[in-house]
Amino acid sequence: MTGVRVRGAGGINTISADFVADASGRGSRSPAWLDALGYDKPREESIPVNIGYMTRLYRRQPEHLSGKQAVILGACQPDWRFGVILAQEHDRWIVTLGGYFGDHAPADEAGYIEFARSLQKPEVFEVIRNAEPLTPLRPYQFSANLRRHYEELPRFPGGYLVFGDALCSFNPIYGQGMTVAAMEALALRECLNRGAQGVARRFFRAASRLIDVPWQIAVGSDLQHPEVQGKRPAQVRFINWYLSKFYQAAQRDGVLATRFLEVANLMKQPSALLEPRIALRVWKGNRAAA
C-alpha cells in the first residue's frame, strides 16, 4: 500500500504514505478493496440485534432523582426495553430510551413519555414527565454486532491495516468501542516499535486477543435475548443464568453494581464477577430477595 486517494473540493489528490490504517468505522470498504486486489476477504461474524434508541436533553432540577447523577435501566426480560438518564454539565440530563428488534422508542412527545412509563422502574419517567426538553428527539439505530477476522487471513498487503470499528463494532449500549480502539492504539504502538515488517499480522493477532473479552461481554449479554441468533454453548448459558442472579442482587448491593461496571467498562476481567466473595454476595442478595 503506497498511500490514499482523497476526493475533496479541489478534485482527487493522492497522498503518499509508508503506512496506511483504515479507521473508517463499521462501514469500512477494506473487505471490498482486498477482494478487488485479489486477496481473501475476512470472515465476518454478525449478531443482529436491530436496536434503536431515541435521545434528548432535559433541564435538570436539584430535586430530580433525589440528587442522584444517573440511573441505568438495562435491557432485560420480559420486554428488553432500556432507559438511561445521566447528569451532564450546565444542569442538563441526557435521556436515552430504546429497545431491541424494532421495539424502538417513538419519535413523538407523548409516545416517548409513554415508553418511559412502560420501563420496569419509574425513575426516568418520573423525571421526564415534567422536565423541560432542551433538544428535539434524536434517533439512532444499530443493526448488528459485527466482527471481521483479519487475523485469520493468510495474505495481507504490506504497509496497511484495519483498525477500530472497521475491525469490530459492538452493540453501543455496552459503551466499549472507544475503549477498545484506545487499547488497539497502544497495541499498534507496540507492534510498530518492533519494526514495520509484518506489522499487520502482529497487530491483527494482538487486536483479536483484545477484542475477545468485550465481544464475549456484548454478544454474550445480547444472547440473553431469546430472539438473538447465535450459538449458546453451556458456558454462555451458565454465565447468563449467573448474570441474571447477579443483576438481581446488584440492585441493592453497591459492591456488586460497582464490580459489574468495572467489568463492563473493561477495567477488570469477566472472571472478577465470579470471585468467591462476589459469588457469595450474589447468593446472599438472591436469598434476601426470595
To ligand FAD, the closest distance from the beta carbon of 105 in angstroms equals: 14
According to CB under 6 A, which one of 3, 19, 24, 240 is a site residue for ligand FAD? 24
Distances (CA, A) of 150 to 30, 43, 168, 216: 10, 7, 10, 18
Question: In Å, how far are 83, 89, 221 from 121, measured between CA atoms?
Answer: 9, 25, 20
CB nearer ligand FAD, residue 27 or residue 254: 27
Residue 182 identity (one-letter amino acid):
A
- Closest approach of ligand FAD to the CB of residue 188, in Å: 12
Which among 124-132, 162-170, 230-238, 246-254 is the span making contact with ligand FAD, rule CB under 6 A? 162-170
Q: 92: Cβ–Cβ under 8 A, 6 or more apart, which residues?
A: 57, 58, 59, 60, 134
Applying CB under 6 A, the site for ligand FAD has a residue count of 14
Q: Closest approach of Cβ 264 to ligand FAD, in Å?
A: 10
Interacting positions 128-147 with ligand FAD (CB under 6 A):
140
Q: Which of residues 201-260 bind ligand FAD (CB under 6 A)?
A: none
The three cell numbers of residue 116 are 418511559
Shortest distance in whole angstroms from residue 192 CB to ligand FAD: 18
Residue 233 three-state SS = coil
Min CB(15)–ligand FAD separation in Å: 12
- Residues forming beta bridges with residue 87, ordered by sequence position: 93
Q: Which helix (H) or strand (E) holds 147?
A: strand 138-149
Q: Quickly tell me which residue has 431515541 as its cell.
A: 54
Helix (H, G, I), strand (E, B) or coil at 228: coil
Of the chain, the end-to-end C-alpha distance in Å amounts to: 62
Residue given cell 426495553 in the structure block: 81
Name the residue number minimizing CB distance to ligand FAD. 177
What's 133's DSSP letter?
A: B
Spatial distance between the Cα atoms of 129 and 110, rounded to a whole number of angstroms: 10
- Quote the least distance from Cβ 91 to ligand FAD, whole Å: 22
Minimum distance between the CB of residue 98 and ligand FAD, rounded to whole angstroms? 10
Question: Per-residue x/- mask for ligand FAD, residues 163 to 202, rule CB under 6 A?
Answer: -xxx-----x--xxxxx-x---------------------
- Residues 78-117 binding ligand FAD (CB under 6 A) are none
Q: Is the dihedral of CA 133, 101, 46, 175 positive or negative?
A: positive
Gyration radius of the chain over CA positions: 22
Does 263 engage in binding with ligand FAD (CB under 6 A)? no
* Choice between 63 and 89, CB closer to ligand FAD: 89
Stretch that binds ligand FAD, among 56-64, 84-92, 158-166, 276-284 (CB under 6 A): 158-166
Binding site for ligand FAD (CB under 6 A): 23-25, 140, 164-166, 172, 175-179, 181
